Amino acid sequence: MSVLANFNIYNRKRHAPGTSPGVPVDKKEAAPLHVDMYVYDEMELLHTKDPQDKDIQTALKQDKKVWLNVVGSSDLKRIEKIAEHAGIHPLGIEDIVNRGQRPKVEEFTDHIIFYLRLPHKQGDSIMLEQIALYYQKGVVITFQEQVEDVFGMIRKRLEKKDGRLRTRGSDYLLYALVDALVDSYFPLFDDISDDIDKLEDLVLKDPNENLLRRVHETKRELLTLKRIVGPQRDSVNAAIRDHASFFSKETVVYLRDCSDHLIRLNDILESLRERAGSLIDMYMNVVSHRMNEIMKLLTLVSTIFMPLGFLAGIYGMNFDRASPYNLPELNYEYGYPILLGIMAAVGLSLLFYFYRKGWLKSTRLSADD
């Protein structure tokens, strides 16, 4: 079973040439829209499900910190209204709604937006979902594609009064959300590593065309992940390097740790790609080795039957037996059994010789070779 489901990295739904920028593309297949609003400070946490526009406006005007979690993009007018209240740039709204953006971070007048990818399971496959994270001082808004509680642990941490999420600024909440997305790749890479281990065993046991196809799929999936993990690392580094004014010094330190996690992910990914690439060489070596084993067996059989065929050919010649020089053995009473005995002795002698040389032993490859 493939670990990573096939998907399009880049958005296939584009504007017609000449369309005004900042216009979202409507998607009929988008998930229904749900909004969760968290208004909090050190002493109080208020959670509102599907708040009204006036509730959002009121919350954004307060001195408390606000986290809006928007799931789905079926109601574009609703998203545009929320974005208008938060002051999100129209180009930012377009990239948020039009899924399939390359991982990046963009800075506007008074806010920045991260566009990252989240891996999560759908049945037996793994999908990469786009997550957009908007940050302005005191306000964090996350935009998700699927109805998945990917930030469940963040919500639990937010409920603790003495936790860092409650006592520190909203920039720390942004870091915590980004870090959760980054760390979600480690279990995925563990699954891929286990999948490659199984493929290695199968290649050694029974190499076939279907197995070769799975190896190529794994290589293609790892290439897709490289096109995601690399830009995400660059996005976090760009936030630290070019947009540090949005974060406190303490949060910058935590973002550096997040960047270190992305570097580790990139190293793991490179190792997995090397292992997947070596599977092709292993497959070819195993197939070649098995072919050599078959050729060796055929050669040994041919070598055994060469002297037997020589003897059979001599005594199969039709000379006149009246002459005492033309195969007198054919007139012997036990000539035929004697010839069969000689042929059996020759065959057994060759088999014993091949056995002593070790040529009859099958050399099977193992995972430790």
Beta strand segments in 161-252, E: none
Q: In the predicted model, what is the mean pLDDT of residues 157-161?
A: 88
Tokens read off for 279: 């599977």
At 255 the pLDDT is 94
| 93-127 pLDDT per residue, tens | 888 888 778 899 999 988 999 999 988 766 666 78
Domains of the chain, residue spans: 34-284, 288-357
With the C-alpha atoms ordered 41, 42, 43, 45, is the resulting torsion angle positive or negative? positive
Tokens read off for 157: 């941490």
Domains 34-284 and 288-357 share a fold: no
Helix (H) or strand (E) holding 271: helix 249-314
Helix (H) or strand (E) holding 70: strand 65-71
At 30 the pLDDT is 61
Tell me, which fold does domain 288-357 have in CATH? Answer: Methane Monooxygenase Hydroxylase; Chain G, domain 1 (1.20.58)
Tell me the average pLDDT of the chain.
83
- 34-284: which CATH architecture? 2-Layer Sandwich (3.30)
pLDDT-based confidence at 263, cuts 50/70/90?
A: very high
Beta strand segments in 110-268, E: 112-122, 125-136, 139-144
Residues 114, 136 contacting (CB under 8 angstroms): no
Q: In the predicted model, what is the mean pLDDT of residues 159-185?
A: 91
Tokens read off for 116: 């990252």
pLDDT-based confidence at 10, cuts 50/70/90?
A: very low
Residues 366, 303 contacting (CB under 8 angstroms): no
